Amino acid sequence: MNSERGMFLREFLRHPMRTAAIMPSPPPVARNMAAAVPETGDPLVVELGPGTGPFTSEIQKRLRGRGRHVAVELNERFAVRLQRRYPELDVAVGDAVQLRQILDERGLGYADVIVSGLPHGLFNHSLQRRFMEAFQTCLAPDGRLTAYAYAHAVWSPPARHFHQLVHTGFAEVVTGRIHWTYFPPAYVYTARYKTQPHHVESDAPEALVTGQTATDPART
Ligand SMILES: C[S@@+](CC[C@H](N)C(=O)[O-])C[C@H]1O[C@@H](n2cnc3c(N)ncnc32)[C@H](O)[C@@H]1O
């Protein structure tokens, strides 16, 4: 077992509920998760729950030194390891539900992309709603959220609630294919933020800025 997997398993045994998996996400899932990071410009990318960093590595590859990458991790052991491995990364040790405060403390505004490695499909409904509020106060208009879900839990009430929240809170939601050959099989949501009134500078009626239909961002 490599050191990354070994550490992940140890942290799972210490904190099973919040670690929520026994091994890090595989590269194909990580690539899907990081695909929303723009390949040009200087985006602000926020990563939640990086763990040992499979998504971090893909995000860093796409950024190639551009923009800013902030990672928020509750587990201090993961955070310390990640900061050591990626000195250019800004790692905040804390609860990602406090994301607005974490960005404010850094003088940062709205994120272009939030890559969430959190186990949203295992959270209770109230915590899922708090995360949705955090996303909506932290994402730029047209910002992207990527999050993943486990295929084996897709019909569980929390997973269905999260699915519904993503579809009602975001203008475009694309559900990626299930990666069956990895354990646990997982798939990725990529969602474009539905602009909310606090982001709108004109006095256009809300319906004009929120009445979007689901389309594939890859085609827009
Ligand atoms: C399922 S693991 C995913 C780790 C990594 N993204 C991956 O895909 O391999 C969930 C991660 O989220 C972290 N986490 C759980 N709740 C959190 C919270 N409220 N705020 C920040 N990180 C949290 C855990 O410590 C763990 O690193």
58 CA → ligand 1 middle, Å: 16
200 CA → ligand 1 middle, Å: 32
Could you tell me which of 172, 134, 160, 112 has the C-alpha nearest to residue 49? Answer: 134
Three-class secondary structure of residue 206 per DSSP: helix
Alpha-carbon distance 206 to 24, whole Å? 41
pLDDT of residue 196: 57
For residue 33, which amino acid is it? M
Alpha-carbon distance 159 to 153, whole Å? 7
93-123 pLDDT per residue, tens: 999 999 999 999 999 999 999 999 999 999 9
Does residue 90 line the site of ligand 1, with CB under 6 A?
no
Tokens of 185: 């099989």
Ligand 1: nearest atom to the Cα of 119? 1
- Residue ranges of E strands in 97-169: 111-116, 139-150
Does residue 50 line the site of ligand 1, with CB under 6 A?
yes
| Closest C-alpha residue for ligand 1 atom 12 | 49
Fold exhibited by the domain 25-219: Rossmann fold (3.40.50)
150-208 pLDDT per residue, tens: 998 889 999 999 999 999 999 999 999 999 888 889 999 999 997 754 444 433 333 22
| Closest C-alpha residue for ligand 1 atom 9 | 24
pLDDT grade for 2, boundaries at 50, 70 and 90:
confident
Q: Are the C-beta atoms of 34 and 9 separated by less than 8 Å?
A: no
Q: State the chain's mean pLDDT as an integer.
A: 88
Residue 200's alpha-carbon distances to 90, 101, 178, in angstroms, are: 29, 21, 36
Does residue 46 line the site of ligand 1, with CB under 6 A?
no
20-79 pLDDT per residue, tens: 999 999 999 999 999 999 999 999 999 999 999 999 999 999 999 999 999 999 999 999
Tell me the domain boundaries of the chain.
25-219
Strands 186-193 and 139-150, by their bridges, are antiparallel
Q: What's this model's pTM, rounded to 2 decimal places?
A: 0.89
